[in-house]
Amino acid sequence: MEGQELPYVLIDSIGGKHGVYEDHLEFLKKHFQLITMKEYLENKKFLSENIRAVYMWYHKPVINEGLLQSLPNLKVVASSGVGIDHLDLKLLSSYGVKVSNTPFAVSTDTADFGMALMLASSRRLVEGYQMAVSPNTEYSPADCLGAEVSGATLGIVGMGTIGYKVAERAKAFEMKILYHNRNQRNKEEESAVGAIYCKKIDDLLQQSDFVLLSVSLTPQTHKLIGKRELELMKPTATLINISRGLVVDQDALVEALQNKVIKAAALDVTHPEPLPRDHPLLNMKNVIITPHMASATKKTRRLMMENMTESIEAGLRGLPIPNEVLL
């Protein structure tokens, strides 16, 4: 937007828990006049008319009807990451606001992380580390045995971009790959990774040694994995969740792990995040939990930022928006 005043874009803050990364500022300030929520609230009368877009990092700033009513010239909301469950798309559409996300920027790192969780859980990596560094360890027990990944059956629930990349990686481990998805992929894509489509999720759950969740959170996937589904899984199976915490009924998961209905769980996502410090999942040896960090690499976070910038600029110019989220 050379030769023009830079458009005003609302952000939550700079640095800190939810703020824009400080090393992203130089790039962003070449494209936008960034306005923090604090600055906006202090000068609402002037800024309300001028803000044209919202740059939503870590789901902040929160967008509700009150904010939309106060921003009459808002055109675009660019949200980081792939999930959109934090956005009311119908509300935004009713105000004529377009929405974008960054699904392709996060897919490679998230797939890598899904494999990392599978390997760490199956080979008891966290337990082994704790044992190795404990001041009480006098010997390494010979019966600390893990489960094989190579040659095992992986069931992928949600074969979108991330799920397919997981399948590509799993193929290198000579895994048998099953998948359940709203739509079956074409034969060439299935053949490339050796994936077999399961129209019914029950068939996948009953056969898999590892069940990996890679779906968007929607009303249809809310608590997709509950007591019934967990009881269909093998008692030797591991559940891996790299999607959203609410895709799993956590109370049912706790019960299943305690009663050895399934063997283990590896979770990058929970509900809430973080879990209360007294939550039973935090004290189970057969559970690995990470703090929603599957896409957390410098390269990916910068790519997300660049994608969001492109989407905002396109939307303000009236051009097709890359990665636009449609109702």
pLDDT band at residue 31 under the 50/70/90 scheme? very high
279 pLDDT above the threshold of 90: yes
Q: Which of 24, 185, 292, 301 is catalytic?
A: 292
- 301 flagged as catalytic: no
17 pLDDT above the threshold of 90: no
Other CB atoms closer than 10 Å to residue 70's CB: what's the count? 15
- 279 flagged as catalytic: no
pTM for the predicted model, two decimal places: 0.93
Name the CA radius of gyration of the chain, rounded: 22
Element (H, E) at 187: helix 187-193
pLDDT at 257: 98
How far from the centroid of its chain's Cα atoms is residue 213's Cα?
10
- Apex 115 CA angle, 111 and 117, nearest 5: 115
- 244 flagged as catalytic: yes
Domains of the chain: 8-105+297-317 (3.40.50.720), 106-289 (3.40.50.720)
Q: What is the DSSP letter of 208?
A: -
Say if residue 274 is preceded by a cis peptide, omega within 30 of 0: yes
2 pLDDT above the threshold of 70: no
Q: Which of 244, 301, 310, 313 is catalytic?
A: 244
Give helix 298-317 / helix 103-122 axis angle, nearest 10°.
160
Whole-angstrom distance, CA of residue 176 vs CA of residue 116: 18
pLDDT digits (tens, 9 = 90+) for 291-315: 999 999 999 999 999 999 999 999 9
3 pLDDT above the threshold of 60: no
Q: Which of 22, 65, 148, 273 is catalytic?
A: 273
